[in-house]
């Protein structure tokens, strides 16, 4: 079993993580108990013996950097840090490097430098020569006070003597460097005491006066070099080919090499990882920082500590060289129980090995930062972690914590005051899962009642932010809509297709692929014009020419406005006839854009109701799920009802984002046709098909529970069973079955069709970091893929 590779570790509770480490033999029973009850922390009495004027003990989070393979050995890396995203980012980068064979890291013999300052010299050159001539005597004297260190193989290794130039009042400055191997100790006290011991003899030999006697924190005699070689194919994302990611990382490193302002931030990112390990292992992170930045400033200017280049095979090569003098023994390590525990988890055998691990962590942290900066930006993965910190600061806890986080992200205003506002709203609700209630005038989603609106009102409020993001959404083409455009969200059905039409439950979620519409009024137009802009800048007809104009006619009729002189520009990232809700997204975007153009106020519930009527034009007997998700942009548990009061629609929140790979079969899916075929079969044998629908419903409800717990392994199994039942309904296709098989072979936990079937799209879920092999396998087979996530 791999020591450092622990899939879905982040999804577990703290107690479950500790129990898992105990099961794997990483923690003893006592250590696990100390972590679980908090007694591993430094107590006040012990703290009072370490520093002065103690009034308490300050705590910080300790997490585990996962997936590290360094010099062929696995390491779980304890990290103490307060900044969100650091542990997650370094674990992701380590997993990437692991697939390429892991890190290599080599530490020099770890020497510290003690400095003895000599002034008031009569003959500086003669003094320098005499000190060098008696170097062995000085080394022997330094070792004489530390026989145990010498017995362990350490001790003084030699001296160096430098003339640094004239002082203001004390003549030439001479500096003696004493080079000391402190073995596995940090060694500051040892080196300082050696320098004190040498001072009288240095004065005697040089004829000068010794002033300062102290170690140097520029530990350039204790360099560590970490290296990783990554085939560019492993760098591929849904948005960016591997070569582009590789070249972007190299270009970002060149920026740091040419600009000290960038180099400072570049190196700070490296130290994010190294300092976190230093804190966990009881090492002097301030000394490590000082040495690193001094080393980065050697030569003509300040530069990056890493280099990223491309070798002859086209691989990305990353190298970090950094001074790292650390310790694994000594008072700071042995007096703090949390530090002792961190060393137990890390499992290194020497200070040199610890330095090698820390250098690999620094290189991984730099890789994660440069990869993010050169692709989707550093904020892409940071906002969720920032939202968690904000929710904690606002006092959110228990079952409400994740819901507060989700709503902060959805709202886009990640502030403490907003979190408290959300908490207050949740407290006022009697139901933990807030239902989406239709507005009073609407009898239920999908009713045919006209939307009665006054002639003129202020424009509607800002468009909803989708709760799922796709990293693959293509950039909008020139002429794309501005901020006044309106949005309809694409969707996936996670579970419950077809059975949802018959009153059973389904789980649906928005995706980052969407449709935007912009309406302008031009007096020169005699009839409405609908222009659908494809992502390549060409114009196509949305849905079908006849259907799109029928949808538009229904919308203007229901809103009570004239279509004379209307021009509609549609900007769609959704592939049509794919089961991803393109027609509903088109209707929602158009409704919002028309309403805004005529300054009409329309609620989301009314938008959804009218979009359902539009869906009836396109699909005949839709369930109502597409228009709901297209409007509200949230993951929901949906149940159709024709009874008064409308459908039952409840938000679903999962504790962690769940990656979703979407695969397009290349065959158009006609939902109206597949729904009709299933209806005909049901009418011939309702008992048989109701039994299948009931089985699917049970899977859906179990899936809701798995989502709420963040159990994606269970969710994947349920999806696989659901796919089998959909195949029994004869709504799958050879292309979909091929994609499902490819995804499962590539590591998908679950894979199934989404939407009406008969072609269209399928979805696959994987553990975080596990989507790239699935995407690569699908693309290699010639299929188009997208990457999104459920939140």
Cβ neighbours of residue 395 under 8 Å, at least 6 residues apart? 420, 423
- Bridge-based pairing of strands 155-166 and 316-323 is unpaired
- SS3 readout for 153-171: CCEEEEEEEEEEEECCCCC
Nearest to residue 625, comparing CAs of 496, 432, 487, 790? 496
Exposure of 439 by Cβ count < 10 A (0-12 exposed, 13-18 middle, 19+ buried)?
middle
Buried b (16+ CB within 10 A) or exposed e, 539-550: eeebbeeebbbe
- SS3 readout for 655-718: CCCEEEEEEECCCCCCHHHHHHHHHHHHHHCHHHHHHHHHHHHHHHHHHHHHHHHCCHHHHHHH
- The C-alpha atoms of residue 463 and residue 484 are separated, in whole angstroms, by 9
Where are the strands (E) in 550-675, listed by range?
Answer: 566-572, 636-639, 648-651, 658-664
The region, left, alpha or beta by phi > 0 then psi within -120 to 50, assigned to residue 207 is left
CB-side neighbour CA atoms (13 Å) of 417: 1
CB-side neighbour CA atoms (13 Å) of 530: 25
- The C-alpha atoms of residue 97 and residue 71 are separated, in whole angstroms, by 12
Nearest to residue 631, comparing CAs of 489, 790, 505? 489
Name the residues annotated as catalytic.
83, 268, 284, 382
Reported residue count of the chain is 791
Where are the strands (E) in 145-297, listed by range?
Answer: 155-166, 172-181, 209-216, 223-230
- SS3 readout for 485-512: CEEEEEEEEEECCCHHHHCCEEEEEEEE
CB-side neighbour CA atoms (13 Å) of 315: 13
- The C-alpha atoms of residue 128 and residue 500 are separated, in whole angstroms, by 90
Task: Give the residue carrying structure tokens 């024709």.
Answer: 642
Helix (H) or strand (E) holding 321: strand 316-323
CA 732, distance to chain mean position in Å, is 34
- The C-alpha atoms of residue 482 and residue 399 are separated, in whole angstroms, by 39
Task: Give the residue carrying structure tokens 């709901």.
Answer: 628
- The C-alpha atoms of residue 269 and residue 47 are separated, in whole angstroms, by 30
For residues 594 and 556, is the Cβ–Cβ distance under 8 A? yes
Q: At 784, is the secondary structure helix, strand, or coil?
A: strand
Task: Give the residue carrying structure tokens 């009729």.
Answer: 557
């Amino acid at each position: 079993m791999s020591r450092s590779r622990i899939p879905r570790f982040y999804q577990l509770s703290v107690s479950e993580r500790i129990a898992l480490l105990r099961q794997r033999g990483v923690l003893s029973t006592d250590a696990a108990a100390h972590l679980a009850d908090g007694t591993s922390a430094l107590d006040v009495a012990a703290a009072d013996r370490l520093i002065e004027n103690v009034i308490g003990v300050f705590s910080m989070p300790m997490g585990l950097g996962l997936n590290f393979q360094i010099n062929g050995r696995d390491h779980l890396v304890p990290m103490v840090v307060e900044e969100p995203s650091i542990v997650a980012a370094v674990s992701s980068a380590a997993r990437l490097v692991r697939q390429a064979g892991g890190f290599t890291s080599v530490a020099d013999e770890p020497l510290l430098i003690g400095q003895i300052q000599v002034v008031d010299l009569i003959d500086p050159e003669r003094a320098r020569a005499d000190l060098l001539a008696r170097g062995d005597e000085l080394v022997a004297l330094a070792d004489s006070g530390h026989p145990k260190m010498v017995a362990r193989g350490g001790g003084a290794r030699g001296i160096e003597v430098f003339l640094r130039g004239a002082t203001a009042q004390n003549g030439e400055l001479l500096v003696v460097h004493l080079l000391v191997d402190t073995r596995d100790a940090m060694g500051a006290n040892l080196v300082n005491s050696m320098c004190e011991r040498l001072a009288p003899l240095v004065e005697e030999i040089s004829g000068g006066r010794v002033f300062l006697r102290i170690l140097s924190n520029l530990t350039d005699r204790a360099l560590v070099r970490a290296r990783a070689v990554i085939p560019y194919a492993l760098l591929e994302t849904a948005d960016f080919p591997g070569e582009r990611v590789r070249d972007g990382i190299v270009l970002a490193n060149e920026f740091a090499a040419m600009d000290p302002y960038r180099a400072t931030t570049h190196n700070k990112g490296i130290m994010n990882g190294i300092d976190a390990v230093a804190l966990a292992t009881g090492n002097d992170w301030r000394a490590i920082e000082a040495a690193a930045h001094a080393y980065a400033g050697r030569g003509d200017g300040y530069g990056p500590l890493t280099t990223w280049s491309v070798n002859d095979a086209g691989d990305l090569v990353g190298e970090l060289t950094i001074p790292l003098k650390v310790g694994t023994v000594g008072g700071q390590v042995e007096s703090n129980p949390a530090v002792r525990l961190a060393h137990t988890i890390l499992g290194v055998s020497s200070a040199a090995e610890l330095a090698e691990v820390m250098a690999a962590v620094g290189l991984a942290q730099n890789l994660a930062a440069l990869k993010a900066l050169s692709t989707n930006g550093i904020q892409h993965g940071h906002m969720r972690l920032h939202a968690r910190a904000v929710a904690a600061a606002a006092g959110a806890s228990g079952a409400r914590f994740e819901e507060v986080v989700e709503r902060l992200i959805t709202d886009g205003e990640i502030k403490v005051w907003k979190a408290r506002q959300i908490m207050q709203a949740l407290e006022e609700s009697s139901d933990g899962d807030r239902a989406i209630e239709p507005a009073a005038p609407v009898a239920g989603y999908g009713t045919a009642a006209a939307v009665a609106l006054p002639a003129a009102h202020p424009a509607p409020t800002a468009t909803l932010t989708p709760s799922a993001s796709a990293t693959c959404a293509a950039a909008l083409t020139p002429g794309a809509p501005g901020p006044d455009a309106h949005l309809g969200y694409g969707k996936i059905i996670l579970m419950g297709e077809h059975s949802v039409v018959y009153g059973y439950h389904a789980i649906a979620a928005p995706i980052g692929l969407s449709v935007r519409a912009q309406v302008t009024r031009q007096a020169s137009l005699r009839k409405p014009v609908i222009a659908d802009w494809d992502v390549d800048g060409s114009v196509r007809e949305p849905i079908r020419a006849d259907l799109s104009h029928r949808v538009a006619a229904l919308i203007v009729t229901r809103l009570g406005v004239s279509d004379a002189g209307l021009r509609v520009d549609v900007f769609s990232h959704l592939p049509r006839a794919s089961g991803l809700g393109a027609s509903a997204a088109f209707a929602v975007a158009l409704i919002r854009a028309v309403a805004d153009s005529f300054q009409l106020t329309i609620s989301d519930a009314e938008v959804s109701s009218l979009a359902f009527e539009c869906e009836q034009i396109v699909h005949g007997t839709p369930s109502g799920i597409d228009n709901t998700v297209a409007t509200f942009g949230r993951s929901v548990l949906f149940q159709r009802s024709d009874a008064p009061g409308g459908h039952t629609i409840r938000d679903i929140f999962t504790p962690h984002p769940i990656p979703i790979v979407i695969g397009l079969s290349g065959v158009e899916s006609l939902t109206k046709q597949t729904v009709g075929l299933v209806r005909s079969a049901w009418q011939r044998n309702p008992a048989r098909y109701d039994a299948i629908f009931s089985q699917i419903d049970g899977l859906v409800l179990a899936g809701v529970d798995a989502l709420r717990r963040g159990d994606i392994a269970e969710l994947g199994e349920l999806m696989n069973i659901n796919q089998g039942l959909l195949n029994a309904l004869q709504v799958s296709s050879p292309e979909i079955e091929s994609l499902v098989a490819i995804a499962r072979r590539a590591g998908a936990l679950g894979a199934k069709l989404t939407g009406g079937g008969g072609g269209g799209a399928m979805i696959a879920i994987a553990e975080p970091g596990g989507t790239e092999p699935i995407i690569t396998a699908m693309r290699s087979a010639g299929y188009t893929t997208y990457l999104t996530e459920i939140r």
